[in-house]
Amino acid sequence: MRVTTAFKRLLRLDGVNVTDVTFFPALIVVSVTLRRRRLVCPHCAHTTRWRYDTRPVPSAWRHLDVGVWRVEVRAVLRRLRCPNHGVVVEAVPFARPGAHLTRDFDDLLAWLATRMDKTSIARLCRVSWRTVGRAVERVVRSELDPGRLDGLFRIGVDEISWRKHHKYLTLVVDHDRGQVIWGAEGRDAKTLDGFFDELGPARSALIEAVSLDLGPAFLKSVHADGHAPQAIVCADPFHVIQLVGNALDEVRRDLWNQLRQLPDPRYARDFKGARWCLLKNPQDLTDRQAEQLARIRRSRGGIWRAYEMKEQLRAIVAGGDLTRHEATEQLERWCRRASRSRLPAFVKVARTIRQRMGLILNAIEHGISNGRVEGLNTKVRLIVRRAYGFHSAKAALALVMLAAGPITLTLPHEH
């Protein structure tokens, strides 16, 4: 078998013939030619038989490594005159427009970005983190489901802090599918207006319920004419649970500071690391965390009362088969207990919940208070922390859409 034939089968590049293979100490250069004769615009479907000219130097794309060798694909490309985009270089079937990486390498970097930290990806694939960000943007731009905005009935809107100095992303979630379907930089009503402009009046009129955080930032956009004034506004269950979680953490910190001041350090040492066993869901606790939670339960102090109230509110917001009347009674009972708990953080939470009682009840009544939404919020926040190394909001947003949006990514070995 000839070397060119072997590399044609090895690389599995669509629509090309391998004409030459050159080996260097740390690099393999594979020269290819396109099999098609018609020129294709990389930005639209325009094709033509006539070329404008031929580029004087070959174009190059980084491909998947072969062992310790980097692989570079080179091809001499022609240029064409597109009626919509002017004079452009013809598209190639094995790479996305504007990319210096092949499609397989783009897909691999995007898949790894949702599962590994940036240092590991950079060392494994021998690329920079910014290169990973650009690859993620290209994959999302080409693979994102174009019908993701169809059939929306219950949506959630939330802002995510992306970097320091108040940089935010606004995300829209489809509650029924449990996916992030839209996002943009910013966190005000004008940012959300962009979502409704893209959605259009016809699809906006089908929205039945919108869940928001406990602030008024996005309410103006939802109620605007042509958006979704008919939708019932609900409190985002994640933020309701976040309120009581922050209150529990405040009680924990106060107790920790008290134990540190005792003469005997044994009590502080036993309580150390109790944060995660108190904040995590009971079914997610490790054996060690479960033992620590059992010790806290035996102490029967204010910290255990705070933990019980956190779990009780989480069960109420989860909804289940509760009617609006039953949910109202349980929330009122919870607020009375929190107000009498002699824990200032929970007294404050009870006051806030009473002020937003209607929004919370709307969420329970319309089935928005499910655990899948809470888990999706947690996943998005973890992905956003991983995207901190990106210096572009578009790259950070693309990584969120790739990890939690309607995208099905195929790895090279799955072709």
Mean pLDDT by 10 residues, the chain (415 residues): 86 89 94 93 92 94 93 95 94 93 94 87 90 92 90 88 79 88 90 93 92 81 90 86 92 89 82 86 88 86 92 84 87 94 93 90 75 68 79 86 84 67
Burial of 202 (0-12, 13-18, 19+ CB in 10 A): exposed
Evaluate whether 192 touches 209 at the Cβ level (below 8 Å): no
Domains in the chain, CATH or no CATH each:
1-94 (no CATH), 100-236+368-415 (3.30.420.10), 239-365 (no CATH)
- Best CA proximity match to 59, nearest among 83, 81, 42: 42
DSSP annotation string for 336-379: HHHHTSS-HHHHHHHHHHHHTHHHHHHHHHTT---HHHHHHHHH
Give the 3-state secondary structure of residue 112.
helix
Give the 3-state secondary structure of residue 58.
coil
pLDDT at 60: 96
- Best CA proximity match to 319, nearest among 374, 281, 357, 368: 368
Tokens of 160: 């995510």
DSSP-assigned beta bridge partners for residue 358: none
What CA–CA distance (Å, rounded) separates 270 from 203? 56
The residue assigned the tokens 């606004």 is 170
Return contacts of 59-63, CB within 8 angstroms, 24+ apart: 59/89, 59/92, 60/100, 61/92, 61/94, 61/95, 61/99, 61/100, 61/101, 61/102, 61/105, 62/100, 62/101, 62/102, 62/105, 62/127, 63/11, 63/13, 63/30, 63/101, 63/102, 63/104, 63/105
The per-residue pLDDT for range 66-104, each reduced to its tens digit, is 989 999 999 999 999 999 999 999 999 999 998 999 999
pLDDT at 50: 92
DSSP letter (8 states) at residue 265: T
What CA–CA distance (Å, rounded) separates 233 from 135? 37
What CA–CA distance (Å, rounded) separates 116 from 157? 27
The 10 Å Cβ neighbour count of residue 77 is: 18
pLDDT at 104: 93
pLDDT at 298: 86
What is the value of pTM for the model shown? 0.79
Backbone angles phi, psi at 201, to 5 degrees: -60, -35
3-state helix, strand, coil in the chain (%, to 5): 50, 20, 30
What CA–CA distance (Å, rounded) separates 332 from 350? 9
